[in-house]
Amino acid sequence: MTDIDLKNPEFYINRELSLLQFNRRVLDLAQDESVPLLERLKYLCISSSNLDEFFEIRVAGVKQQLQLGISTTGADGLLPHEQFEKIQEVAHELVHDQYRVLNKILIPKLAEEGIRFLRRTHWNPEQARWIKTYFTREVLPVLSPLGLDPSHPFPRILNKSLNFIVTLEGKDAFGRENGIAIVQAPRSLPRIIRLSDAVSGAPYDFVFLSSIIHAYVEELFPGMKVTGCYQFRVTRNSDLFVDEEEAEDLLSALEGELPSRNYGDAVRLEVADNCNSKGVQFLLHQFKLSEEDLYQVHGPVNLRRLMAVPDLVDRPDLKFPAFTPSVPAALQPGHDIFEAMSESDILLHHPYQSFNPIVDLICQAASDPNVLAIKQTLYRTGEKSMLVDALVKAASSGKEVTVIIELRARFDEEANIQLASRLQDAGAHVVYGVVGYKTHAKLTMIVRREGKRVKRYVHLGTGNYHAGTARAYTDIGLLSADKTLGEDVHKIFQQLTGLGKAVKLKKLLHSPFTLHKGMLEKIARETEHARQGKKAHIMARMNSLIEPLVIEALYRASQAGVKVDLLVRGICALRPGIAGISDNIQVRSVMGRFLEHSRVFYFFNDGESEVFGSSADWMPRNFFRRVETCFPIEKPDLHERVVQETLVYYFQDNTNAWVLKKDGSYQRVRQGNAQPRTAQQRLLELLSST
């Protein structure tokens, strides 16, 4: 089979279409009757939110390629215009199904549970009076209708904001009769309003802000007749561009770019499905969009806003059961974390095990007089982070605190700029990484004096230092006092903050230097073992798999007889099941209550198996344009835990798993007569406290 060209575009799936397939699987969970009802509503919102970002970043990028006349292709061979046509076809189907799920499935089922969304045509007189009072008191004072004429041109429309195009008859106070106005809903107004108990006919009655504005829009145009009112929303290109080679100050350059994010080029227009053709064409013209960019919808133009509903409804029976993450005995409050780490490496598997020990580690380091320095990378931290508070405390008390903050973490740029300023004010050394390379590695190093020696303690993880996502994302983290690991982490921090040539590490692989080469070598080693007739096995899990050389290497491994088991949550460009190419490869996507975020790589290695955790997916950007780390799990019991908990259990899952087929579609695994097995539920029972 060696004469087969493994670069053949037919062997690769387009990344954009694969990402749309991921959102299709999220939407499938919104239709899964085994999932609690309010959680199904959340999945619908997540599907919509994901699609927003897809248009803001991915579709915007394809449209820019079309505008610039770029004709390059990816490994799949699709030209930009071919990608765009297929994207629009699949995206329109997905949006149609999102509103079908909302209107035909979720709204009726929620109504059965006493959770209702009241249409304005169904308000009884008492409800209408309450809503009219709400409109007059809360909504009307902050609305600013804009009639369009030569002195009032079409306004700048904020990215993803709620707006209305209103058609009118009659003359205004100045004798004008242009007939079109725009009403913009301020973002300060809630999009979902719960009616008071006094007027509710059910335990939880809600009304959309769009319905309220629609019902009383004539109040904004006294003396004129409203002949039509239609909600719309425009999605814009939200990818920031900063020329890092030219920018003298990256922070200032990003601060200057952030306001433009809300007013980039339009890439999608969503309009109420009852809007007439004249209104639709008017809006398309204003935003310089074509018919293929138009999405007419039956319902609120921003489904993501429904995410507020579960928090407004006190129905635990319609949500996932609460659980308490466990804390290993050695890390219980009151224990000396440094002593525990000195005795043995410690593995934390979030969210089943608590993120608090990581915060406690930094807090203990901040107050420990023997700690000399703390160094940490921060990509996303969230607001009001206790971990950041501890770093500020440590810096304020005179410890050497160095923080690598990635200012370019998409959609967290503003938060990270504020974080950088706060840490600098406290006296920390703040570095913005390396020009041209995002710092995506998850590293902490604490330097502590113990008697006559200085010792390093490290944490390496697959997820962000973000307490919120640690409750919702699956990730692993390793706490270690291993001398060699400490030396490797020390060298990486030196590389990030100083100048010098690439350093040689003993245990860690890191991008953009050794990770790609290291993965190819390990895949090649398994391939050679298979050719020698030995057992060979690769298991790997990640968010995305699109790097062509890695995929080629996996194809060669499959041809040689290596068993390749892949868990790829999102994008996968590899086609499994091609005869003579990838018939020894299976690709699964497991989805459920928690977002699968861990990156774990296993190689059988002729019985001397190796397992690694990593901050990196198998994507070109992670291998070549980011600073990433990949760390070994060497302690035998932790090694076995990682293999079982992050790989084996997931390949045994017959409830929340989808299998990728060679045509690029996914088929959900059906348990049939088998005992149902769910990896996430199994881990909750195994690791959490409740």
Angle CA(571)–CA(489)–CA(465) in degrees, nearest 5?
Answer: 55
Average of per-residue pLDDT across 83-104:
97
pLDDT at 261 over 90: no
**183 vs 153: which has the higher pLDDT:** 183
pLDDT at 126 over 60: yes
Is 403 in the same domain as 266?
A: no
pLDDT at 624 over 60: yes
Percentage of the chain surpassing pLDDT 70? 94
Residue 5 placed within a domain: no
Is 470 in the same domain as 610?
A: no
Per-residue pLDDT band at 249 (split at 50, 70, 90): low
Cβ distance 42 to 29 under 8 Å?
no
> What's the whole-number average pLDDT of the chain?
92
Q: What does the H/E/C string look like for 257-276?
A: HHHHHHHCCEEEEEEECCCC
Kindly tell me the burial class for residue 605, based on how many C-beta atoms sit within 10 Å of its own C-beta (0-12, 13-18, 19 or more).
middle
pLDDT at 380 over 90: no
Q: Residue 242: give its domain's CATH number.
A: 3.30.1840.10
DSSP-derived secondary structure letter, 648? I
Is 19 in the same domain as 119?
A: yes
**577 vs 178: which has the higher pLDDT:** 577
Q: Is 429 designated active site?
A: no
- Residue (of 146, 178, 177, 168) closest to 228 by Cα position: 168
Q: Residue 394: give its domain's CATH number.
A: 3.30.870.10
Residue 657 placed within a domain: yes
Q: Is the dihedral of CA 272, 277, 279, 281 positive or negative?
A: positive
Is 99 in the same domain as 150?
A: yes
Residue 132 placed within a domain: yes
Element (H, E) at 470: none
Q: What's the CA gap between 420 and 554, in Å, rounded? A: 41
pLDDT at 20 over 60: yes
461-505 pLDDT, tens digit each: 999 999 889 999 999 999 999 999 999 999 999 999 987 787 899
- Residue (of 465, 331, 350) closest to 403 by Cα position: 465
Per-residue pLDDT band at 245 (split at 50, 70, 90): very low
Per-residue pLDDT band at 587 (split at 50, 70, 90): very high
Average of per-residue pLDDT across 323-337:
92
Q: How many domains does the chain have?
A: 3
Take residue 310 and report the two structure tokens written for it.
Answer: 């579960």
Sequence-distant (≥ 6) Cβ neighbours of residue 89 within 8 angstroms: none
Average of per-residue pLDDT across 672-684:
91
The domain in which residue 495 lies consists of 329-504
Query: For residue 477, what pLDDT is reported?
Result: 97
Query: For residue 364, what pLDDT is reported?
Result: 93
Is 253 in the same domain as 356?
A: no
The last residue of one of the domains, among 504, 520, 539, is: 504
pLDDT at 243 over 50: no
Is 260 in the same domain as 215?
A: yes
419-476 pLDDT, tens digit each: 888 898 999 999 887 878 999 999 999 999 999 999 999 999 999 999 889 999 999 9
pLDDT at 580 over 80: yes
Is 584 in the same domain as 467?
A: no
Take residue 96 and report the two structure tokens written for it.
Answer: 């149609």
Per-residue pLDDT band at 408 (split at 50, 70, 90): low
Query: For residue 414, what pLDDT is reported?
Result: 76
Which range, 315-324, 389-398, 416-425, has the best average confidence (pLDDT)?
Answer: 315-324
Average of per-residue pLDDT across 15-39:
97
Residue 220, SS3 per DSSP = helix
Is 583 in the same domain as 665?
A: yes
Q: What's the CA gap between 376 and 428, in Å, rounded? A: 11
Q: What's the CA gap between 406 and 422, in Å, rounded? A: 15
State pTM to two decimals: 0.93
Per-residue pLDDT band at 148 (split at 50, 70, 90): confident
- CA 407 to mean position of chain CA atoms: 17
pLDDT at 618 over 50: yes
Percentage of the chain surpassing pLDDT 90? 78
Query: For residue 246, what pLDDT is reported?
Result: 44
Residue 638, SS3 per DSSP = helix
Is 155 in the same domain as 256?
A: yes
Q: Beta strand pairing status for 585-590 and 657-660?
A: antiparallel
Query: For residue 291, what pLDDT is reported?
Result: 95
Average of per-residue pLDDT across 564-591:
97
Q: List the single range of 138-147, 241-250, 300-309, 373-382 with lowest mean pLDDT.
A: 241-250
Sequence-distant (≥ 6) Cβ neighbours of residue 338 within 8 angstroms: 364, 368, 446, 448, 457, 481
Q: What's the CA gap between 593 and 42, in Å, rounded? A: 10
The last residue of one of the domains, among 318, 349, 368, is: 318
Active-site position among 214, 440, 459, 466: 440
Average of per-residue pLDDT across 654-678:
92
Is 389 in the same domain as 278?
A: no
Residue 2 placed within a domain: no
Residue 1 placed within a domain: no
182-214 pLDDT, tens digit each: 999 988 899 999 999 889 888 999 999 999 999
Q: How far apart, in Å, are the Cα atoms of 121 and each of 211, 213, 298, 413, 429?
A: 10, 13, 15, 43, 60
Take residue 605 and report the two structure tokens written for it.
Answer: 């290695």
Take residue 293 and report the two structure tokens written for it.
Answer: 């960019």
Is 414 in the same domain as 526?
A: no
pLDDT at 363 over 50: yes
The last residue of one of the domains, among 256, 284, 318, is: 318
Cβ distance 86 to 17 under 8 Å?
yes
pLDDT at 689 over 50: yes
Residue 6 placed within a domain: no
Residue 358 placed within a domain: yes
Query: For residue 479, what pLDDT is reported?
Result: 98
Take residue 55 and report the two structure tokens written for it.
Answer: 């248009």
Is 272 in the same domain as 390?
A: no
Query: For residue 71, what pLDDT is reported?
Result: 84
Residue 323 placed within a domain: no
- Residue (of 57, 26, 18, 62) closest to 44 by Cα position: 26
pLDDT at 152 over 90: no
Phi and psi at residue 121, to the nearest 5°: -75, -10
Per-residue pLDDT band at 238 (split at 50, 70, 90): confident
